[in-house]
Amino acid sequence: MEAFFSQLEKRVRKVDSLLCVGLDPHKDDLPEFSAAAAHRFCLDLIAATQDYAAAYKPNAAFFEVLGPEGWAVLKEIIAAVPAEIPVVLDAKRGDISSTAAAYAQSAFGTLGANCITISPYLGYDSLEPFLSDPSRGVFLLCKTSNRGSGDLQDLIVQSDNEETRLYEQVARLGQKWNTSNNLGLVVGATHPDAMKAIRTQAPDLWLLTPGVGAQGADLRAALQAGLRKDGLGMLIPVSRAISRAADPAGAARELRDQINQARTEIVKSTTKIETAFSKTQAELADGLLEAGCVRFGEFTLKSGLKSPVYIDLRQLVTYPQVLKKVAAAYIPLLAKLEYDRLAGLPYAAIPIATAISLLNGQPMIYPRKEIKEYGTKAAIEGVYRTGETAVLIDDLATTGGAKFEAIDKLVEAGLKVKDVVVLIDRQSGAAETLAGNGYRLHAVFTLSELLDYWEQKKQLPIEQIEAVRNFLKEQQ
């Protein structure tokens, strides 16, 4: 089955909408307080808004309060939503793993929901039952829209020897735990500053952003803070502002159009790099330049190419704070891959791989440039087992040819290699060369992205930037 957020994105693009319509049969909105009235209320709302809804979000509480009949109606309402429209069950579950498994079966199996809101408070093992099927999604409570959210969610905690707010740590963990493209975060649109910080920690995740409408959140401020660089990544739930409107269909259409107009303006007004680079990435790009890791002139690369730019990441050993940021930048890419060992390439990537290992706790090995002629005569340093998968860690990728010698040594030692992860792709054919041999290249930056950023920040003379851009065009 297709991953949940792939399904959601397909629906979003089809109807060009980020609007999630809430199915909340408040007692005050019903002609009588009964399951039958709630059933009619929701069916009418679905019929009126399905052309504009990216998803629907029934809140379990408004059905549970109606007793067994209400629970039965909830199942019928979920079934009544057209199959191509995802249903997010707002139930905010959270319990130990055995109980969580029952909650997951209830939400996904019994009720037929596609996604559910859950609490991270009990840790990852309490989430696993909800995440085990990639076609079913979760939105993890991160920074909720209510006024009292700061009582716990804003507390300062220690993470990787740094102080951070609890909601930022949840966002970091969410980015790490989203291995099957089925985990997102609940972030209140009422807290745009927190949303901006969360987007920095979780640049890829979808955010469910309640608070627009009756709670009075600033729609544009929320979109400015929460949109991904592709103009997606936010699902905006609205309930009462639609259901209590004289014309729910018109209200949904107007909201959809307001959202689209604002996000179009934001994407257009935000420069390419400001959208593409998080604060952390921008700081890293600055650090690479300040540490002298990038030089301009005329250089002969290992591949034999003549280049107007030389990137020397061996300098990082002298700048531990920059090295730490470099290592941290690899973590989100590695979190999406399956592997048993980090394999750092001599020599520039060995400090990087070591720093990554210290951050994420993954064991490291490295293939020697020259096989030892004494002692163990090892070709691979470090402990590993035949049949394990190693992810290749390097600093740069140019043509890709230099990677195969290391890959061959790892394969000859009985290891599997599927992925190569680098800090910078110089865009000189490495991705294509590796792909042609069955390997995938992943890069924190492309050289073009760095050039665009440095140009925007006016950190380099334009003639140097243009010389490198012309060089890249010649390689493509």
Residues 257, 289 within the same domain: no
Between 229 and 272, the higher pLDDT residue: 229
Query: Residue 55 is part of a domain; what is its CATH number?
Result: 3.20.20.70
Pair type for strands 115-118 and 306-311: unpaired
Q: What is the pLDDT of residues 95-112, one digit of tens each?
A: 999 999 999 999 999 999
Residues 135, 185 within the same domain: yes
Domain that holds residue 80: 4-267
Query: Residue 336 is part of a domain; what is its CATH number?
Result: 3.40.50.2020
279 carries an active-site annotation:
no
Q: pLDDT band for 443, please (50, 70, 90 cuts).
A: very high
DSSP string covering 74-97, please? HHHHHHHS-TTS-BEEEEEE---H
Q: Which of 10, 75, 92, 306 is catalytic?
A: 92
Residues 233, 319 within the same domain: no
Q: 139 has which bridge partners?
A: 117, 184
Query: Exposed, middle or buried, 266 (CB in 10 Å: 0-12/13-18/19+)?
Result: middle
Q: How far is CA 211 from CA 56, 114, 199, 241, in A?
A: 15, 22, 17, 11
Between 456 and 97, the higher pLDDT residue: 97
Query: Which residues does 279 contact at the CB level (< 8 Å), separation at least 6?
Result: 200
Final residue belonging to a domain, choices 267, 294, 327: 267
Final residue belonging to a domain, choices 229, 246, 267: 267
Residues 216, 310 within the same domain: no
Task: Check residue 457 and give its pLDDT.
Answer: 80
Give me the mean pLDDT over the 223-251 stretch.
Answer: 94
Amino acid symbol at 91: A
**Chain mean pLDDT for the chain:** 91
Q: What is the pLDDT of residues 283-312, one digit of tens each?
A: 999 999 989 999 888 888 776 778 898 999
Residues 349, 242 within the same domain: no
Q: pLDDT band for 456, please (50, 70, 90 cuts).
A: confident
How many structural domains is the chain composed of?
2
Residues 228, 308 within the same domain: no
Task: Check residue 275 and give its pLDDT.
Answer: 44
Residues 324, 242 within the same domain: no
Residues 390, 453 within the same domain: yes
Q: pLDDT band for 476, please (50, 70, 90 cuts).
A: low
C-alpha 300/C-alpha 62 separation (Å) is 68
DSSP string covering 276-337, please? H--HHHHHHHHHHHHTT-EEEEEEE-TTS-EEEEEE-GGGGGG-HHHHHHHHHHHHHHHTTS
Contact by Cβ (8 Å): 154, 110: no
Q: What is the pLDDT of residues 158-217, one digit of tens each?
A: 877 778 899 999 999 999 999 999 999 999 999 999 999 999 889 999 999 999 877 778
Residues 187, 324 within the same domain: no
Residues 118, 207 within the same domain: yes
Residues 330, 359 within the same domain: yes
Q: What is the pLDDT of residues 363-380, one digit of tens each?
A: 999 998 876 566 556 889
Final residue belonging to a domain, choices 216, 248, 267: 267
Amino acid symbol at 32: E
Residues 173, 240 within the same domain: yes
Contact by Cβ (8 Å): 222, 237: no
Q: How far is CA 123 from CA 133, 169, 170, 424, 473, in A?
A: 18, 12, 10, 34, 48
Beta strands across the sheet bearing 364-367: 380-381, 364-367, 341-344, 389-397, 416-425, 440-446
Q: What is the pLDDT of residues 366-417, one digit of tens each?
A: 998 876 566 556 889 999 999 999 999 999 998 888 899 999 999 999 999 9
